[in-house]
Amino acid sequence: MPEQYSLYKWTMVIDLDRCTGCQACVVACQAENNISFNTEDRFHQHRVMEWIRVERYWDGEFPQGRAHFIPILCQHCNNAPCEPVCPVYATHHNEEGLNVQTYPRCIGTRFCANNCPYQVRFFNFWQPQWPSRMHNQLNPNVTVRYRGIIEKCSFCVQRINQGKRRAQREGRQIRDGDIMPACVQACPPSALIFGNIKDTASRVYRLAQDKRSYRLLADLGTDPNVVYLKKVEY
């Protein structure tokens, strides 16, 4: 069923030709979204929480080769496999194209994480903890999650809401580039671009039409709101 979208439909474009794999987006996301520390144990247990991660793919072996990097975050699918399996409607698609996770609703069945082909949903196996004083750096605009619920990339919905209110106060519509999730803002080579794809003058609209564009695991029919750009090398 095609969704009816309001004024906005948020889309991210990831230009893999620009991405260097430097991890700036990863740390920016940790800082903005109060993600608890990924301790050494979490790496061993394969329970690392990174709402955005940079996957590295080796291409070739010595002497010829290179590595490719793909930043992967919640794709905010228009046909999201995570949504229909949630028994309590904690995850749903909103009218601006966001796949929203409602923490107080989540009961921790982890069905959504199982059903997500991109593996971008993370379960809080422990109560997140910050050592003394470090809780001062928590972002007051983002809920600190607790044990037993799923969390994931929200496209920095707190920044979207803030941007909308700012625009409302100033009596205008949101301009292209007004709203930037933390990862987009940090990215040194500007590989990440965020905007409203319903605005035909926006950068994301133009880039989504680029002949380099593709969607991740498009065959699954999830119809993501994250567009990847990559020049195919022959």
Q: 80-85: which pairs have CB atoms within 8 A and are 24 or more residues apart?
A: 80/222, 81/115, 81/116, 81/117, 81/220, 81/222, 82/111, 82/112, 82/113, 82/115, 82/116, 82/121, 83/112, 85/111, 85/112, 85/114, 85/115
Query: Which is nearer to other proteins, 53 or 174 (by Cβ)?
Result: 53
Query: Which is nearer to other proteins, 109 or 215 (by Cβ)?
Result: 215
211 part of the interface to other proteins, by CB under 8 A: no
Binding residue for other proteins (CB under 8 A) from 12, 157, 174, 179? 157
What is the per-residue DSSP string for 158-202? Answer: HHHHHHHHHHHHTTSPPPTTS---HHHHH-TT--EEEEETTSTTS
Query: Which is nearer to other proteins, 31 or 109 (by Cβ)?
Result: 31
Query: Which is nearer to other proteins, 117 or 148 (by Cβ)?
Result: 117
30 part of the interface to other proteins, by CB under 8 A: yes
142 part of the interface to other proteins, by CB under 8 A: yes
In the numeric block, the tokens 């061993």 are attached to 44
CB of 151 to other proteins, least distance (A): 11
What is the per-residue DSSP string for 2-25? Answer: PPPP-S--EEEEEETTT-----HH
Binding residue for other proteins (CB under 8 A) from 79, 83, 109, 113? 79
Binding residue for other proteins (CB under 8 A) from 70, 83, 92, 213? 92
Residue list 112-141, contact with other proteins (CB under 8 A): 115, 117, 119, 131-134, 136-141
CB of 153 to other proteins, least distance (A): 12
